[in-house]
Amino acid sequence: MLYLHYLQKKRVPLVSNVGGELKTVGRTFMVKDYETMVVIDAMISDEAIETEIASVEKKILTHSGEIKRCDKWGKRKLAYTINKQTHGFYVIFYYKADKGIVLDLERGFNINTNILRYLTLTDYPLTEIIYNQDHISSSEDTVGFDIDYGDAD
């Protein structure tokens, strides 16, 4: 049997970076894993695309977030036109942060004209799946499958 181990919510003290040193503000926030896909206008220059990606990363890091991974899918054809654009540059950010960062990111995405679409999901990584060996009995028989006829023995 497979058991899904859901991500534990941890309370972490909010810190502020004042004068180069971190200070605790006093309140705590809930840290979760997030996955944000952003579609950037592919008609802008490559330097501008990298600047947009760097600005998203900077925004996450300045709000005490932790970037786990950034996948750049590159330029792809859109399924339908968005703002008269037919191609977009796809980027997925995997990060651990407070939900306030998500609201701040989405507010910036709505204002930025180079961002065509975005979607943020709460991420439950596959590394959290636990396989419990105690529930496997050695007396279980496996059922053979005949490929030619599609029948089980």
Domain ranges of the chain: 32-135
pTM: 0.63
Residue 37 contacts residue 69 (beta carbons within 8 Å): no
What is the CA 57 to chain-centroid distance, rounded? Answer: 12
The set of residues, in sequence order, having a beta carbon less than 8 Å from that of 111 and lying 6+ positions away, is none
**For the domain with range 32-135, which CATH number is right: 3.30.70.60, 3.40.980.10, 1.10.357.10, 3.65.10.10?**
3.30.70.60
Note the pLDDT of residue 88: 95
Asked which of 44-58, 118-132, 137-151 is least confident by mean pLDDT, the reply is 137-151
Choice between 51 and 145, residue whose per-residue pLDDT is larger: 51
Choice between 53 and 20, residue whose per-residue pLDDT is larger: 53
Choice between 11 and 113, residue whose per-residue pLDDT is larger: 113
The set of residues, in sequence order, having a beta carbon less than 8 Å from that of 7 and lying 6+ positions away, is 32, 33, 124, 125, 128
- DSSP 8-state secondary structure symbol assigned to residue 6: P
Query: What would the mean pLDDT of 67-73 be, rounded to a whole number?
Result: 92
CA-wise closest residue to 91 among 135, 35, 129:
35
Residue 93 contacts residue 56 (beta carbons within 8 Å): yes
CA distance between the termini of the chain: 23
C-alpha span between 112 and 97 (Å, rounded)? 22
